[in-house]
Amino acid sequence: MNSLFRVSERHHSGLILMTELASAYSDPTSFLSLSEIADRMHISSGYLEEIALRLRGADLIEGRKGPGGGYRLKRAPNEITAEEIICAVEGPLALVDCHSNGCPVEGACQSKALWNFLYASLRKTLQDTTLSSIIKNTL
């Protein structure tokens, strides 16, 4: 099936990891093992580690090695937005190439208004959506 908007596997896995960590936030002192999350969610632990490194780089999660180690959120779930997660795992959001690379036909493009409207709408939705609202299903 062809899809107008396709969420990348990295975006999806990043959101899965963050929702798992958010679900465990009731005990903010505990760390979750990536291998346990990977097994439960059927994601390669190496791939999940790569995503975790990006999320750490964006200061969204922190890790600890050794017994009882793993990852946890650095902020409360209601303080982390979907946009932060999306940007952390794959960089700035862009719907079409002209949003990220410039457009050779910018002055003549008649579809620009539609793409700008969709981009602004999606970005606002992601900014307004917190991890807390995702795990509580209050979107």
Distances (CA, A) of 111 to 96, 116, 118: 11, 9, 11
Q: What is the pLDDT averaged over residues 95-103?
A: 63
Residue 86 domain flag = yes
Q: What is the pLDDT of residue 93?
A: 76
Number of folded domains that form the chain: 1
Question: Whole domain around residue 22: which residue ranges?
Answer: 9-135
In 24-111, alpha helices (H)? 34-41, 45-57, 82-90, 97-101
Per the domain annotation, does 62 fall within a domain?
A: yes
Q: What is the pTM of this model?
A: 0.86
Q: What is the pLDDT of residue 116?
A: 83
Could you tell me the pLDDT band of residue 98, with boundaries at 50, 70 and 90?
Answer: low
